[in-house]
Each structure stands twice: as structure tokens, then as C-alpha cells.
Structure 1
Amino acid sequence: MLKKYQLTSCLILCMGVIAGGISSCKKAPPERDYLSNNAGFEPVDAYSPILGRTFLYKTNFQADGSSFPLQFSLQNLRHADGSPAPELTQNVTVKEWVKDYDGTEKTYQEIEDKRKEVQHPFFEIRPGSGDFVFRQASVSQIRAYPDSGYLFDVKVENNGNALSFKKMRLQPLREVPYEPYEYDYVTRLRKTETRTNANGSNYQAPFSIHPGLANVYVSKDTLMADSAAAVYFRKTGNGHSLTFKFLDQDSLPIDPMKLNTTKWNELVHGFDMKQTSTQVTYNVAYPIPLTSLDTKYAVAGNAKVLFGYSRKGTGGNRVGASFSLSFTIWEEGDWEVIFRFYRTPRFQDE
């Protein structure tokens, strides 16, 4: 049995050990997130959005094992000469959907009621992903090629670490009002194409947009080649209409009624159709198509129109013919889409 003084000594020793243990425990510093020095944006010479449309550019930031979440922010936006570029972050007016568009809207006003005009900066970065958003603006607001463009920095950070990516380049391109476009996006020179003379020799000619043709005859037994027709886009006013015209080899109007299998009421998402002996016109909302959603009017981000007719061929058999076009129109206005045939299609029965 321990004596009284031995018990006291043991208690004092144990208390000292406990006290020493408590005083020696220090709070560990918070662990810092990892941000790799090899993280970065995929190499791009310059970001070149086309003005006149809203565009999301997925930058595909390579995190290289960095800790998430990451935060992205734009820094030091400037012209190529180093002077400030406040226009990049000044608000522009754009239309934004407030209700879902699904392609079943019955009137122009029903479409317009589903979107409203809002104010947003021309250039933003999505803080959680690093993707760039370029909103609809004109060359009167934003400098475009051949101007030398802009420089900007991007700061990337997580808990306690940060990286800065310097001198990233932005060089917007001028508006492209419609596509397919017969002019080069950068130089704005008209493209050329190789054509064949009657004697079989090739030559360079101004580029034309060609429709896809199927079973279109130009004589009793001669099918038309794809290059035997061309499509032209022409803006005639500042409203919101879309007109289709058809011209023969002498540039004279073809009556749209000859296209007797065309589903005019389902051709485009347009309203108040007016048909005459020279054209068909719709009241439409722009851009065409309104979204990238697939509908009966659009596929994969392009409007698709199909015109057709049928006639009695040799032997009394019914022959179907058609021509189609995939396109977009970005700029609001009164637009004409003109199909001109270098050789007039054969509409009459045999």
C-alpha cells in the first residue's frame, strides 16, 4: 500500500504530464488548396467572336489537378496599345428569354412576349468555369478586325492560391449578317469558285451559295446539276419579314404556285403569310432560327427550308423534284432569299 506522500507525488506528476500535453498541442494551420503552375487555358492565338450575335466560348481550362472550386475574373482590359478599353465591359442591349421557346408559338407577339430586352456587358467570364461570354454588339461599339484588337488578363484563384494569365488576345470580327456567307469572314473579299465553260475548261468565278437539288429536270430527260442554281440574300428594310423569290434563267419571276408540293405553312417559323405570283413573305422574329433547339423549322442550329413540286414524267409516272437550303440570318430586318436558276426547271407535264 502506497503511503500518503507517495500518492500526493503521483498525483502531482500526472497533473504535470497532462498540463504539459495540453500546452504542447498547437492548432494546425489550415490546409491550402492546390493550384498547379501547369494549369492554363488551351493555346489560342486570339479569341475572335463574330459581332452581332451572343456567343458562349468554352475555354476548356486545364486545371492539372488543382483544387476546386476555382474562381475566374477578368483583369486589366485594354486596347492592344495598352490604353483602357471600357467598351468591353459597358452594357449592351440584348434580348433574353424569360420563358422557354419551343417552336410551337402561334404568333409573332407570342414569341416576343417570351423574351425581353436587358443590359449586360459585352464581355464577361463565367466565374465558376472560366468560359467567355460575348454578347451581341456592333462594330460601332466594339473594335473589330483589321483593328489590332484588345489584350486582357485572367485571374484564377482558389482557397489561398492564385494565378494570373497575362496578355490574352481578343480580336473580334465584323458582323456576318447571314450564313452561308459568300465573303471571307476576315478579309471580306468575295470568295471564288471553280466553274466550267461550255468548252469544258475551268475558270474562277464569284462564289455563289448553292441549294441542294433532287430530281430537278431542265429538259425532258436532263437533270439539273447542283451548281445550276444559286441563292442570294438581300436586305431591303429594317422591319422583321422574310421573303422567298424564285427566278428563271432570264431572271424573270417564277410563280411560287408552281412549287405545288411545298408546305408553305410549315416552311419557316413565320406568320401572316402573303403569297403573290412573284414571292412568298412571312412576318418573322430574328435571328433565324431563334435558338439552337431542333424544331420542325430548324436542325442543328440552322433553319432548313424545302421547296418541291411534282409533274407527270415520261410514261405518265408522277415525278417529284425538290431543292433545299440550310441557313441562318443573324441581323434583324426585311430579308429576301432569292433562288436563281441558270437553267429554268421543267415544271410542265410530259
Structure 2
Amino acid sequence: MTSLIMSFMPSCKKAPAEKDYLSNKATFAGVAIYEPILGRTLLYKTSFNADGSSYPLNFSLQNMRHFDGSPAPELMESGPVLEWTGLYDGTEKTLKEIENKRKLVNKPFFEIRPGSGDFIFYRSGAQIVSSYPNEGYLFDIKITNKGNERVIQNFRLRPIKDIPYEPYEYDPYTRLRKSESRSDINGNAYTAAFVNHAAMTNVYVSKDTLMHDSLSRVYFRKVGEGNTLTFKFFDKDSVVIDPAKFNLTKWNELVHGFNMSKTNTHVRYDVAYPIPLTNLDTKYAISNKAKINIGYTRTGFNAFRIDANLLLNFSIYEKGDWEIIFKFKRTPRFQNE
């Protein structure tokens, strides 16, 4: 008799992959309405509370729409924008050296960084119209990790019309000229039209009158579509002041510009825009603003040396031939005693 020995092997089934945890309370905090300024590239560091959710998380934009619910494809239309391919450090010696570190690429107006949830608003949004005073746009953010997803709805986006330079004397929303409170010689308060000012110290306007207030009004004027920046100076009677009178100024280091042209009416540079080029602090910029120091020295009474300095921090975001004009409310005294 033949014995049959049967072996029974248990069947193996693959256990289902364990899902990551994604909290229903994970959300972005801190901002009710995002209001990027058109015409400039801005990285907005969001504040995301994962509430214990498992990383890595992936973020993506969903359902871009106008406030009335209609689609808003213009938010995702691509346009040309300059992107850095090399490291800018402020030591570049020519305009070509700067431009060789940048290239034109196509970018949409609005992106979200997949790994962090940070927003990037690009200066490519020429097709976007300022939403103010309208309600603007709505969008959703989809969050996913392994095996889970969640959509957070109804983020608000209300772009602001381009602000070509700063300091800017107009309200960013209404575009009406700002007002500022002042006092007259009797201490009575009044409201006046706001004009940009530059502080100047140790300035004599006569033989015995030393001023420390904001003696100079500053005007930004675009006069062409090139790549230049020009400085001009006028006294209280609108007569041009020769830049050579500002004899302490380091004109070759005033801005990160090239091919300086200095005459008895102006000083001009070839420059790359925007100014400053990045948010890096250099000898030309600090805290995302270009910084200039225009000064002169004179000999006062008793052979005492007096140094005066005109200081201004500024930005220009729109490419062009720009002039920065200083108009003195009271003419400085440049002569020695």
C-alpha cells in the first residue's frame, strides 16, 4: 500500500501598507488675504501647522477661480521672468557679468512649493489685473502624504497694482497721494500732501544756520525704456547743483552700476534691474533696499571741518531709464567760511 503524504502550506497574503497620518486640523495660519504686489517676484514663507501629520507632505494648488466662482486661468498662464543661474554677490564688475548669471524662463504668476507649502509670486503676471477694490480670487490647496489627502478651501488672493519704486508717495490701494501730518511755526497741526524726503545732517543753509531736518524732496521719474539710473540735484530755486559740490561722495561705489557718466548736471550709470537685484545685503544694499550716501565737506568758523550727508534707501522694480531727483527746500551752503 502506498502512503500518500500531503503537505499543506499556508497561503501568504501581503499586508496592506500602513497609511501615514494626516490631521484634519492641519492648516495654514496667519493670513486672511494674500496681497502680492504685481511686477515683482516674491517668496512668501507660509505658516503651516501640520498638527502631528506624517511627513513628507506634498502641497499643490487647486481650483483657481475668481471670487464669483468662475475659472481664473490667467493665474497659471506663463510669462517671461529672469531667473538666477549663478550666484550674485554684489562684486560683479560689468553689466554683462550680471546678465550672464540670469536667463529668461517662463513662469506662471503663482506657484506653491510642493515640499514646504511656501508661495512664489512671479513678476511674470503682466496678464493679471489688480484686484483692488474688487474681491479678487479664491483658490484651494491640496495636501497629500502616503495614502491620504486633504483639500483646504477658499484661500483669498487680491493682487495689488504694480508699485514701480519705493519709497512711494501714493496709497497702494487707492493711488491717491498720501498725506502727512505736520506742524506750522506756531505748533498748529495741519495735513499736507506727502512727498518723499531724504534726511540730511550737518547742513548749513547760511553762515550761522545749521539744519538737521529733511531738507531734500526726492522724486522718481522714468524717462525711457533702457537700463540707466541718473541722479540730479536742484536748489530751492530749481537751479541745478553741480554733483561735484558733493565732494565726499564715492560716486564709483554709490550704486552697483557701470560706465559712470558724470557732468555738471547729473551722474548716470548703466544698471541692471530691479534695484537691488536680490535681497542679499551688499555694500550697495541693506534689508532689500539700495542705500546711498551723498555727502560733502566744508570748513566752518575756527577752521572747524563740517561733513554733511544725504542718505536714502530705495528700490526700483520696473526696468527703464530712471532719474532720482533731489530738490532742496533750502539751499545748502557749500562755501568755506
**Shorter-chain TM-score range:** over 0.9
Partner of 1:194: 181
> For residues 284 and 215 of structure 2, what CA distance do their matches in structure 1 show?
26
Matched, 1:240 2:224: no
Matched, 1:162 2:154: no
Partner of 2:286: 299
Q: How far 1:256 moved relative to its partner?
A: 0.5
Tell whether the 8 Å contact from 1:305 to 1:324 is kept in structure 2 after alignment: yes
Structure having the higher Rg = 1
Partner of 1:6: none
Q: How far 1:146 moved relative to its partner?
A: 2.3
Alpha-carbon RMSD: 1.9
> For residues 348 and 261 of structure 1, what CA distance do their matches in structure 2 show?
14
Q: For each residue in 1:269-321, what CA deviation from the matched residue of structure 2 results, as whole angstroms up to 9, or x when unmatched?
A: 11111111111111111001111111111112110000010111110121111
**Which of 289, 300, 314 is 1:313 aligned to?**
300
Gaps of 5+ in 1: 1-11
Q: How far 1:26 moved relative to its partner?
A: 6.3
**Which of 141, 148, 160 is 1:173 aligned to?**
160
Matched, 1:257 2:244: yes
Partner of 2:271: 284
Partner of 2:41: 54
Q: How far 1:112 moved relative to its partner?
A: 1.2
Residue 182 of structure 1 aligns to a residue in which SS?
A: coil
Tell whether the 8 Å contact from 1:211 to 1:226 is kept in structure 2 after alignment: no
Partner of 1:333: 320
Tell whether the 8 Å contact from 2:290 to 2:314 is kept in structure 1 after alignment: yes
1:137 counterpart letter in structure 2: S
Residue 298 of structure 2 aligns to a residue in which SS?
A: strand
Tell whether the 8 Å contact from 1:191 to 1:207 is kept in structure 2 after alignment: yes
Partner of 2:331: 344
Matched, 1:222 2:209: yes
2:156 counterpart letter in structure 1: R
Q: How far 1:205 moved relative to its partner?
A: 0.9
Q: How far 1:200 moved relative to its partner?
A: 3.9
Q: Structure 1's 139 and 188: CA in aligned 2 closer, same or farther, altered over 3 A?
A: farther
User: 1 or 2, which has the higher helix percentage?
Assistant: 1
Partner of 2:98: 111
Residue 295 of structure 1 aligns to a residue in which SS?
A: coil
Segment of structure 1 superposing worse, 203-212 or 62-71: 203-212
> For residues 224 and 243 of structure 1, what CA distance do their matches in structure 2 show?
26
> For residues 100 and 180 of structure 2, what CA distance do their matches in structure 1 show?
44
Tell whether the 8 Å contact from 2:107 to 2:124 is kept in structure 1 after alignment: no
Q: For each residue in 1:226-267, what CA deviation from the matched residue of structure 2 results, as whole angstroms up to 9, or x when unmatched?
A: 233211111111111101111111111111010001000000
TM-score by length of 2: 0.94
Q: How far 1:71 moved relative to its partner?
A: 0.7
> For residues 214 and 169 of structure 1, what CA distance do their matches in structure 2 show?
45
1:53 counterpart letter in structure 2: R
TM-score by length of 1: 0.90
User: 1 or 2, which has the higher strand percentage?
Assistant: 2
Identity of aligned residues (%): 61
> For residues 24 and 335 of structure 1, what CA distance do their matches in structure 2 show?
79
Q: How far 1:222 moved relative to its partner?
A: 2.1
Segment of structure 1 superposing worse, 69-78 or 210-219: 210-219
> For residues 268 and 188 of structure 2, what CA distance do their matches in structure 1 show?
40
Segment of structure 1 superposing worse, 209-218 or 247-256: 209-218
**Which of 74, 82, 87 is 1:95 aligned to?**
82
Matched, 1:79 2:66: yes
2:49 counterpart letter in structure 1: Q
Tell whether the 8 Å contact from 1:72 to 1:128 is kept in structure 2 after alignment: yes
Q: Structure 1's 196 and 229: CA in aligned 2 closer, same or farther, altered over 3 A?
A: farther
1:106 counterpart letter in structure 2: K
1:254 counterpart letter in structure 2: I
Q: For each residue in 1:5-62, what CA deviation from the matched residue of structure 2 results, as whole angstroms up to 9, or x when unmatched?
A: xxxxxxx9xx99xx6xx74986543221111111101142211100001111111211
Tell whether the 8 Å contact from 1:149 to 1:171 is kept in structure 2 after alignment: yes
> For residues 140 and 195 of structure 1, what CA distance do their matches in structure 2 show?
40
Partner of 1:4: none
Tell whether the 8 Å contact from 1:246 to 1:256 is kept in structure 2 after alignment: yes
Tell whether the 8 Å contact from 2:108 to 2:125 is kept in structure 1 after alignment: no
Gaps of 5+ in 2: none
> For residues 19 and 101 of structure 2, what CA distance do their matches in structure 1 show?
46
